[in-house]
Structure 1
Amino acid sequence: METVDTSMFIEGVNANGKVWDYMVSSSWHFEPDNLKALAGMMAFEGLNPYEYLTLSAQSLKKLKWSDEVVSHYGIKKPGSESFRSVKEENYNQKNN
């Protein structure tokens, strides 16, 4: 992954008590066996892995379970609204 040279950007612009600046975020990907080992390490340390590990929306979609089925195990949180493009067939399925 390429890194971006941020030296050409202005450092920290302060506006109304907030500082706007270029921030770098990262995320982690775990192979299934390593995720299992990580959960085992948490349990070994006396932690409940299920308090730390969750299913992503993408993972739930892969399961192809209905909201009715999933609702027996969790609570659906309201999502955010955005104005964006989607494939026409997906739009038609959602609105029919």
Structure 2
Amino acid sequence: MADTRNFVLRDEDGTEHGVFTGKQPRQAALKAANRCNGTKSEPVTIRLRERGTKKVQVFKGWKEIVKAPENRPAWMPEEISKPFVKKERIEIIDE
């Protein structure tokens, strides 16, 4: 079974900030997308580099406000934000 991996959020200029964890890059991208302000018509670019590697996973991400499921717990609000991501490409850092 795979352990969790750490992915660092990376800007276009190469500065890194924020760490998201997940077993797969998509899981970490979904967590990052839930914090962004992208919409389906204008998604944001999410660039995640796995710690210890030079690979950068590039996703387009956004979130939408959707109705919570019928079997939701009592503490959950009626509307929740649901993240969406679409993988664009993988880049290799040349440093």
Q: Same fold (TM over 0.5)?
A: no
Higher relative contact order (CA 8 A, sep 6+): 2
Structure index of larger Rg: 1
More helix by share: 1
| Greater share of residues in strand | 2
The alignment's TM-score, normalised by the length of structure 1, stands at 0.28
